[in-house]
A and B are shown apart, each in its own frame.
Chain A
């Protein structure tokens, strides 16, 4: 029996049926469900959904909905920034202290200089940096985010943002996938499976990277704290820093809309499709589960991944910095070679070198950058306070406010990390879309930083 025969037979049988047979089946399905449910469910009071509905009327109202959302986002980021700042210092002191001890021990037992350097100034320093930069913000951000997720707030976000996505020709559920992107862009890309239409799913995949993931948050937090907030009175520091990070996130959201709109007008033409989204009841979050999910599944998982790339990256930098050629070393030479292009973007050669080394994982950009700045074979460890970092960057390496702002923009807009690119490739099964995701984001990053740098220079700000 051939497939075509069966199809033909089905076709002819279908034509023989009265026209309403399809509706008939669906209708009987629904009536059946209705009668059965009615028989089984009794309402014993009329309090019903009162409380949930009252809250929902507020958090999804056309006026208060978006401001409340912004407020919650700001609150989470403020908690993260102010908490991370405290913890970060302690962790840095402990980890860099261990580094000193280990180095001293190696010297004492007479280990060769290259072994001590490779292990303690390369591999260990890379690890210590990545842990002290990343762990504190994640420890606070992930539990707070998971709390909102368990509470049932995320679908309300989708509800509030739906009209905006519709205007750009994208799917309303894209805000759910963006929310996942805050944790990890690769997870955000996988989460796009909830979007039915392939066209809108591709838009969500390609633009997910404009949400800064947890690998990039620490960079933003550090720059916002050290540069933007530094000139304000100490009491305001955490608010200014948090406000700056919120601003960067909002710029990312803006670029998401812009890119979605351009995509749906060009390569991914089409109208936004309608969908139903349930607003689940608010549920009391389970504290132990939140801690498990956010600490084990998210924090440790992401940190472990970062450490796996930080160790070889640290080793690579040490090797590059210790291959001497004349007065200079290889790391310096590559950075110098990249410098003109870096300056054009308001950045510098070291930052670009750090980004190239950090392609496997964005988390290691700051650590890589710091290690190159501090140079080879340095016997002092990483700066453990904000003022020391400020001093190293501004007085030691000629950073300006423009460098800091453009680095934040670059961190927000540049290409996805290797894991995310691989995930995009796996999800779309297409080299074309994976490539586009890189070209589009990197192009945007270059263009935007070039423009801000040029404007700032024209106006004499930098």
Chain B
């Protein structure tokens, strides 16, 4: 791990973004200032990053679909306490299987302060589909390009700056296994949350008539469920005829999900970590 260097800090370090304190807090996340979600395609190393940050030993394994429940842990970075939620891997936010629903519900309705989308540097194109979809929902997004070591071995060079520019959100190259780039990543996350970095997420708008239809639906949804996050995304899903969202709306389940995801006691339960043992 790079954060165990024994070089003594000088006065310049105070202002240097690289000199920062990361304290792993395991599952002791009683009080926290911010909630961060870890999303990404299956098998991109979310759990490895989760373990590196929290010091927990969430079981990692080299197969897609290993994490089926939500694992939670905490860490302190620059005197701020963070709660980190490791979500099951998902290819899109439109899916039906139960593990992917766990991820979708949390990103949609849990309102994390920031969502880190972990990408596999060796197959970036497929991973970016999810990034684009997450950016539809929230602008508090940081992209972590993981597995940089593997990409290098395969002769691939990934330009994170080009990605940041194109996506409109910070993209940081990391290698979660060794800890490379993790401090830069956390710095970017903090900046996005504090507003030091103003993101301008790239959004795929569709045709003008489609935009008009979306704009007509959004106020109706907001009127029905005041305080609902992501009304725009829901409107798009309704126009698309998403049966799951339609059902959630008519049965009132939507309101339940919103309130459940926002309740702190459900967000952290020790039971999850036991069930997550595999």
A positions within 8 Å CB-CB of B: 1-7, 9-10, 13-14, 16-18, 21-22, 24-25, 28-30, 32-49, 146, 149-152, 154-155, 173, 176, 180, 183, 187, 190-191, 193-196, 277-278, 280-283, 286, 289, 292-293, 296-297, 301
Contacts and interface: CB of A to CB of B under 8 A. Distances in A.
- Which of B62, B95, B98, B177 gathers the greatest number of chain A CB atoms within 10 Å? B62
B216 A13 contact: yes
User: Interface majority SS on A: helix, strand, loop or mixed?
Assistant: helix
- Which of A25, A43, A151, A180 gathers the greatest number of chain B CB atoms within 10 Å? A25
A194 B42 CA distance: 11
Contacts, number: 183
B224 A16 contact: no
B65 A33 contact: no
B220 to A, nearest CB: 5
Contacts of A10: 217, 235, 238-239
A1 B95 contact: no
Contacts of A47: 154-155
Contacts of B223: 1
16 contacts: A1-B223, A2-B224, A7-B250, A10-B217, A10-B235, A14-B239, A29-B132, A37-B124, A39-B162, A42-B156, A43-B155, A43-B157, A47-B154, A154-B62, A176-B65, A194-B64
B277 interface: yes
- Which of B98, B131, B223, B246 gathers the greatest number of chain A CB atoms within 10 Å? B98
B145 to A, nearest CB: 9
Contact of B155 (A13, A22, A48, A190): A48
Contacts of A155: 63-64
Question: Size band of the B side of the interface?
Answer: 35 or more
- Which of A43, A49, A194 gathers the greatest number of chain B CB atoms within 10 Å? A194
Given A21-B206, A190-B278, A194-B99, A40 B124 contact: yes
A297 B57 contact: yes
A50 B98 CA distance: 35
B259 to A, nearest CB: 16
A33 B158 contact: no
Q: Which 6 A-B pairs have the closest CB atoms?
A: A45-B155, A194-B65, A196-B97, A37-B125, A33-B128, A152-B62
Nearest to B44: A280
A364 B156 CA distance: 53
Interface stretch (B3-11, B22-30, B207-215): B207-215
B129 A280 contact: no
B163 interface: yes
B275 interface: yes
A296 B57 contact: yes
Contact of A17 (B43, B61, B239): B239
Interface string B161-195: 01100110000000001000000000000000000
Contacts of B163: 36, 40
Interface string B216-260: 110011011000000000010011110000100110100000000
A292 B131 CA distance: 33
Contacts of B220: 1, 5-6, 9
Contacts of A1: 220, 223-224
A24 B62 contact: no
A278 B209 contact: no
A191 B275 CA distance: 10
B154 A4 contact: no
B40 to A, nearest CB: 13
B54 interface: no
Contacts of A48: 154-155
Nearest to B129: A33
Contact of B207 (A3, A24, A32): A24
B79 interface: no
Given A36-B163, A40-B159, A190-B69, 12 more contacts: A1-B220, A6-B217, A10-B217, A14-B213, A21-B206, A33-B132, A37-B125, A41-B156, A190-B275, A191-B65, A196-B95, A280-B43
A25 B221 contact: no
Contacts of B113: none
Contact of A190 (B62, B68, B97, B154): B68
A17 to B, nearest CB: 6
A7 B238 contact: yes
B60 interface: yes
Contacts of A30: 129
Contacts of A36: 128, 163, 166-167
A268 B63 CA distance: 28
Contacts of A191: 65, 68, 278
Contact of B216 (A9, A39, A278, A281): A9
B75 to A, nearest CB: 19
B129 A44 contact: no
Contact of A150 (B62, B154, B157): B62
B209 A17 contact: yes
A292 B51 CA distance: 13
A18 B208 CA distance: 11
A25 B124 CA distance: 20
B129 A149 contact: no
A445 to B, nearest CB: 26
A207 B33 CA distance: 45
Contacts of B125: 33-34, 37-38
B204 interface: yes
A176 B63 contact: yes
B59 A293 contact: yes
Interface in B87-103: 88, 95-99
B175 to A, nearest CB: 12
Nearest to A156: B63
Contacts of B216: 9, 13
Given A18-B207, A21-B207, A9 B155 contact: no
B250 A4 contact: yes
A29 B155 contact: no
Contacts of A173: 65
